[in-house]
Amino acid sequence: MRRPLSLKIGISGVRGVVGDSLTPQLVTAFSAAFGAHVGAGPIVIGTDSRPSRDMVKQAAIAGLMSVGCAPIDLGIVPVPALQLYVRQSGAFGGICITASHNPIEWNALKFFGPDGILLRPNQAVELTDLYHQGVYPRVTYRDLTDVKEDHTAAVRHHRAVLGAVDVERIRARRFRVVVDCCNGAASRSTPAFLRSLGCEVVEMFTDPEQPFPHNPEPLPENIGALCNRVKEVGAHIGFVQDADADRLAVVNERGEPLGEECTLALVVRHMLRKQVGPVVVNVSTSRMVDDVAAEFGAPVYRTRVGEVNVVEKMLEVNAQVGGEGNGGVIVPAINPCRDSFVGMAFLLESLAHEGCSISQLRSRIPEYVIVKEKVDVSAREIAPALRRFQEAYRGERLDLTDGVKVMWEDRWVQARGSNTEPIIRVTAEAPTEDLARQLAAEAIARLQVGHNGA
């Protein structure tokens, strides 16, 4: 069998393993293609804290400059801060160098349009077409612009988020907060942000020069240290961000992880309490959101997985809140992208308004258990497996927005091909863990890719 490819060029950007597929040649060429796509103007560029950041960034700068773009280098920056900066600065676009929650050997380019939103699928297709053509509109020395550095992105970002919450109410509570930044892009920004909300901040892993202390995906199994620390210091709440700070997970005052799906549900409930309106989430997001929305009589729209799909729908239906179940909270009025700072601010505001603890807040929304499994398959096996899966559930209520989702009264199971890896993701949600596991196991069996399933 062929060696699995570590390179993934798709609608979410270019992703690869450093020292293997993510070469400076590839990055330079792709950045030149991006410059050609958005036009010769200011392009914002930033990175997370991975050790490969400078190598990749210099390659991207070379590619951008070669087609006449003027790179604005934000340095190490949370991706939502970069997205906001792009929109506010009138730049032609942005590139964030981050592999998000992927392990440290990976890196990637995420591309943003002038509105700070990830390229739409049709734009991403145009970009890859430009790349594959391999002919870029190079400029001569007269039209070259040197790199400009700007370190104000974090401050601009804080200002935008703080302007949308009741800072005085939050400050009055003097929350003690433990934050685990995973030595990622928000390591400098998050503690300062929380302090401006009057929090007493206990920092964990806030040195971007150090390697990731754990896998940067904010899952319960990766945040044991945070849980212990919250208990030790008697904090009100614990926060953990992924490496580029778009996703957020929460630990309660007893040091128990709430599970990343709770983040969005809690924020949605808070926002609907303030003002009722439509909610947009992706098809894989917990049905906690549906229960919360039903309580307020708010409609829920579901989209394909991927930030840009959710954002597009939000703008279309004028939703004030939405996001992705993996801890990605989106409030377009502040920033039309997943933003962990928005999540933190509204969760703290919610605690301040309701005058309760985070575990009490959690108890106000129904309990579900979500189980996420991966099944390794080659790309060519994905479609037949999903057809077999759909056939096996014929007669049930199906949603084919993204892969195949099968729904019952209080549970659901979904199988879909990943955007980023050669796998089928199987997600099941039910009121108890046993039920969810059982649903997932059944679903995997019905994919009939048995040799390496589950």
Query: In the complex, which residues of this chain contact another protein (CB under 8 A)?
Result: 18-20, 23-25, 27-29, 32, 50-52, 54-59, 61-63, 65-66, 104-105, 107, 138-144, 146-147
Report the residue number, 19 or 384, with the smaller CB distance to another protein. Answer: 19
Torsion of CA 93, 9, 339, 222, to 10 degrees: -150
Q: Which of 100, 187, 286, 340 is catalytic?
A: 100
In whole angstroms, how close is the CB of 268 to another protein at the nearest point?
37
- Sheet containing 200-204: order of strands: 200-204, 176-180, 237-241, 248-251
Report the residue number, 29 or 161, with the smaller CB distance to another protein. Answer: 29
Q: How many C-beta neighbours within 10 Å does residue 269 have?
A: 22
CB 264 within 8 Å of CB 327: yes
Report the residue number, 33 or 283, with the smaller CB distance to another protein. Answer: 33
CB 46 within 8 Å of CB 188: no
Q: Which residues contact residue 168 at a Cβ distance below 8 angstroms, ignoring those fewer than 6 apart?
A: none
Q: List phi, psi (to 5°) of 322.
A: 180, -165
Both tokens of 432, joined, read 């108890």
In degrees, rounded to 5, the angle at the alpha carbon of residue 167 between the alpha carbons of residues 165 and 168 is 135
CB 393 within 8 Å of CB 287: no
Catalytic, 21? Answer no
Instruction: Specify whether the backbone of 326 is left (phi greater than 0), alpha (psi in -120 to 50) or beta.
Output: alpha
Report the residue number, 25 or 122, with the smaller CB distance to another protein. Answer: 25
Q: List phi, psi (to 5°) of 250.
A: -125, 145
In degrees, rounded to 5, the angle at the alpha carbon of residue 392 between the alpha carbons of residues 387 and 395 is 110
Which residue carries 């614990």 as its tokens? 238
Report the residue number, 59 or 230, with the smaller CB distance to another protein. Answer: 59
Report the residue number, 54 or 433, with the smaller CB distance to another protein. Answer: 54
Q: List phi, psi (to 5°) of 162.
A: -65, -30
Q: How many C-beta neighbours within 10 Å does residue 381 have?
A: 17
Helix (H, G, I), strand (E, B) or coil at 244: coil
386-399: buried (b, 16+ CB within 10 Å) or exposed (e) per residue? beebbebbeeeeee
**Using CA of residue 90, residue 93, residue 97, residue 102, what is the dihedral sign?**
positive
As annotated, the active-site residues are 100
